[in-house]
Structure 1
Amino acid sequence: MRVMNFGEVANRLFGGSPGRGQSFLYATEQCLVQSMARAAPRWIAPAHLSMIGAGGAALAAAALVGCRSWPELVWLVPPAMFINWFGLTTDLPLARLRGGELPGAGMSHHVSELFSHILLIIAYGFSPFLTLRAAAAVLVCYLLFSSYGYIRAATRHVQQMAYIGLGVTEFRILLAFWPFAAIALGVPASQHDPLPAIDVAVIGLALVAVLGLFGKLFKDGRRIAAASASAAQSSDE
């Protein structure tokens, strides 16, 4: 089994391979994204789109926190998340289309994406739509799944883009429209309860997700061990 060098691993990690598109919206999204990349003017660089995406996340985060004093800011969250989606789903396809330096473009993309999601989850903790405890549980899950995705890409050369059909785009949709669901469920009014129902629900789901991740880790570990044993046996023969 050939060992990949650093450049090849970086290329796979930071934009060289589209990876496994397993999310529900992946196929439709890719058609739309490719059309937007082809229509992009020449003066727009992939790094510009990454920064636009990060800026959309910053705007959404500011609106979420600001909703404590100005509830009408909630209407800024969906369009800001659309900006985030546009920038961070078009930057890498644009780089590939123009034959750009994919590891560099990928680095900008992944840094902006990590910044965006972490900032948004923290902002939700300071918003009326989620408690700090629930936001902390979501953040822990996000960091665990993200870390495992990058480790899996480096060790198995597979970039996992979605779990059980839910990918980054589905996560963005949830972040964009959760404030309205939270208002309908009465989450803002329950934040002063000793144990809000939203905390029980989110922490319970987080525990299930973490257990599922450990199960996947065990399964992948067995596959890697079996592949290594098979390769060693083949080399001995």
Structure 2
Amino acid sequence: MKVRAAKHKRVVDTLTGPFERRFLPWMASRLPQWVLPDHLTALGMFAAVLIAVSYALSNYHPAFLWAAFFGCILNWFGDSLDGNLARFRHIERPRYGFFVDHSTDALAETLVFIGMGMSPFMRFDIAAVALAGYLLLSLYAALATVSMGEFKISYAYLGPTEMRMVAMLGTAWVYFNGMPIIQLPFVGLTVLDIIGILVSLLFLGAFLISSAKMAGRLAHIDRTAHHEHKPHE
């Protein structure tokens, strides 16, 4: 099997994509020479720890939510710029970069969702289901990269940046409005609970639909290849 992770096509079709495609290279061109892609990856990872710890500490005071809010901005900066900086300076390490970037992303999101679940504003089981949905999408992205040479990080025009924006807006709303319980049949949910459920459904739906489409594409490719190589009688 030919592995395509080292050289793949990035599929990014998000609401913020046009802005990021202009802003991130511009920012990368202005970073000091001593700043390296690995520094930015480490910054993104530090920001994820900050977000998780801040959500957990919001049990003691809601002001810690602003540290989580700031952590989302810091995480976006580090996570979005590391690859852009490498491409701008032509210092890409395709295999290393792909592995480190996406393994740290998975760890970072795991920490963030656990931190949300430990806060008083989101049920832990909802955070766990949202995390499972995110990890399923990460698995799909890796499999699609190996199978088709396509690395997709956007679904329904939403990507990591949009997810951070949703988290930031929800966090700010909770800070200013407290934690009102929305009573539904059989259960009461907070605003972040409802956001977590919607995000979970988005992740799981995107995984199922994308996997079904990819399976159909691969089946067609394999059938075509089989017929092309089948000896003529």
Give the structure-2-normalised TM-score. 0.86
Residue 164 of structure 1 corresponds to which residue in structure 2?
156
Residue 59 of structure 2 corresponds to which residue in structure 1?
68
Task: Give the C-alpha shift of residue 205 in structure 1.
Answer: 6.1
Task: Give the C-alpha shift of residue 203 in structure 1.
Answer: 4.1
Residue 169 of structure 2 corresponds to which residue in structure 1?
177
Count residues in correspondence: 227
Partners of 1:215 and 1:107 lie apart in 2 by 25
Tell which deviates more after alignment, 72-81 or 177-186: 177-186
Residue 107 of structure 1 corresponds to which residue in structure 2?
99
Task: Give the C-alpha shift of residue 123 in structure 1.
Answer: 0.3
- Pairs within 5 Å for 1:109-188: 109-183=101-175, 188=179
Partners of 1:41 and 1:208 lie apart in 2 by 38
C-alpha RMSD of the superposition:
2.5
1:225 has 2:219 as partner: yes
SS in 2 for 1:39: coil
Task: Give the C-alpha shift of residue 88 in structure 1.
Answer: 0.7
1:43 has 2:38 as partner: no
Point out where structure 1 has 5 or more consecutive residues left out of the alignment.
Answer: none
In 2, are the aligned partners of 1:54 and 1:112 still within 8 Å (CA)?
yes
Residue 197 of structure 1 corresponds to which residue in structure 2?
189
1:88 has 2:79 as partner: yes
Residue 70 of structure 2 corresponds to which residue in structure 1?
79
Task: Give the C-alpha shift of residue 85 in structure 1.
Answer: 0.6
Q: Deviations over 1:81-112 (max 9, x none)?
A: 11111111110111122222232233332222
Residue 28 of structure 1 corresponds to which residue in structure 2?
19
In 1, are the aligned partners of 2:57 and 2:119 still within 8 Å (CA)?
yes
Task: Give the C-alpha shift of residue 212 in structure 1.
Answer: 4.8
Give the structure-1-normalised TM-score. 0.85
Higher percent of residues as helix: 1
In 2, are the aligned partners of 1:50 and 1:91 still within 8 Å (CA)?
yes
| Percent of aligned positions that are identical | 23
